[in-house]
Amino acid sequence: MINTLSDFIQEYKRIVDMGWIKTHRSGPTGIGKTLEDLLGITENNIDGPDFGDYELKSCRLNSISMLTMFTKTPQPRGAADILRETFGYFSNAYENNEKVLHATLSTDGYVPIANTGHQLIIVCDPSRISIVAEDKKIYAYWTRELLKQTFEKKYKNKLVYAKALSRGTGAAEQFKFTEAYEVSGFDYDSFISLLEQGKIYVDLRIGQYRGGAKGGKTHDHGTGFRIREADQSLLFKTNNRIV
């Protein structure tokens, strides 16, 4: 079991020397599960350190997949209802005439919303981050201060980022761990810069309840801020290579 950064470095070098390692779980979380098993860390969903003062993260160097940094329903109150009713579309997944709205947005350009004729984009201004439609109106937003507080709460621990090459897919995927970094100090300015560059994406996942008293009403599955695996360490002020 590892308790200190020195323990991690020693064990991680051993894992690097192992070369290609078959995943311990298929899917996106396979790399994290495999590394935790090899290090003797018990998997948990608690928001806290994995060893010592450190939270352990891992990513595929050659991956274009994205990670959800956190989810936050936009403002004002009822924004998810407004977005679904205004820009949503009908889905065969539901046996009614209520709408859903699934879309991945960024600052990089307007995104067409299914066959609705509408388009949405993320716009940054000095006070807030907004969801804007083709009519240039703001339909939902997050204040910059709220996002700053949310991120600083989420990334309050020191982090170790382990990086690996990946080959194969599913249960046959393999990892070759190559390097690791100690990162700390969430950099909100870097977050805003990456968002403005179109390197951070906003996932709208607004569906509806399937039954019961809330059947057909808005069900916000969590509006997610997402970033490509290989870019996540750019969110921090300190990046020290330790292996």
Domains present along the chain, CATH in parentheses: 5-65+157-186+232-241 (3.40.210.20), 69-148+190-228 (3.30.70.3570)
Which parts of the chain register pLDDT below 50? none
Instruction: Match 């109150």 to its residue by tokens.
Output: 77
* Amino acid 207: pLDDT: 76
Read off the pTM.
0.73
pLDDT tens, residue by residue, 117-147: 999 999 999 999 999 999 999 999 999 999 8
Q: What are phi and psi of 77, to 5 degrees?
A: -60, 135
Helix (H) or strand (E) holding 80: helix 79-87
Q: What is the identity of the amino acid at 9?
A: I
User: 206 with 218: CB under 8 angstroms?
Assistant: yes
* Amino acid 95: pLDDT: 63
CA atoms within 13 A on the CB side of 170: 1
